[in-house]
Amino acid sequence: MFLTMALLRKGISGKQWIGKYRRPRAITWQMKRNMLVHLEREAENEYWVSRPYMTTEQERGHAAERRAQKWLKIKETKFQKFPEHKYVVDHLSHLNTTKTWSS
């Protein structure tokens, strides 16, 4: 049955570019060139990634001072945005209508 379908079938059933029995895409010279460029770029990236900029001793704690300064700046901006203190006396002073000078 499968051989009969393969021999008698005129084309690919359904969408020709997707599915189990899809039509294979032709490889062009542009595709080959782009793949070579991609592989060369990947090889160069791998070369640079494999050689560290700093040793592990240099890397440990090298940004501690900068991070502390950054944290202090963030903390200062939070305190600047913080509203002023409000007291209960300020909120309830309108209720003091019966208070007189003598009392």
- Cα-based torsion angle of the residue sequence 59, 61, 64, 66 in order, rounded to the nearest 10 degrees: -30
How far apart are alpha carbons 97 and 95 in whole angstroms? Answer: 6
- pTM as predicted: 0.46
Both tokens assigned to 18? 């997707």
Tally of helices (H runs) and strands (E runs) in the chain: 5, 0
| Cβ atoms of residues 93 and 86 within 8 Å | no
Q: How many CA atoms lie within 13 A of 71 on its CB side?
A: 6
Residue 103 pLDDT > 90:
no
Q: pLDDT tens, 84-98?
A: 889 998 888 888 877
pLDDT band of residue 2 (cuts 50, 70, 90) is low
Top-confidence residue, 70 or 62:
70
Query: What is the pLDDT, as a whole number, of residue 29?
Result: 98
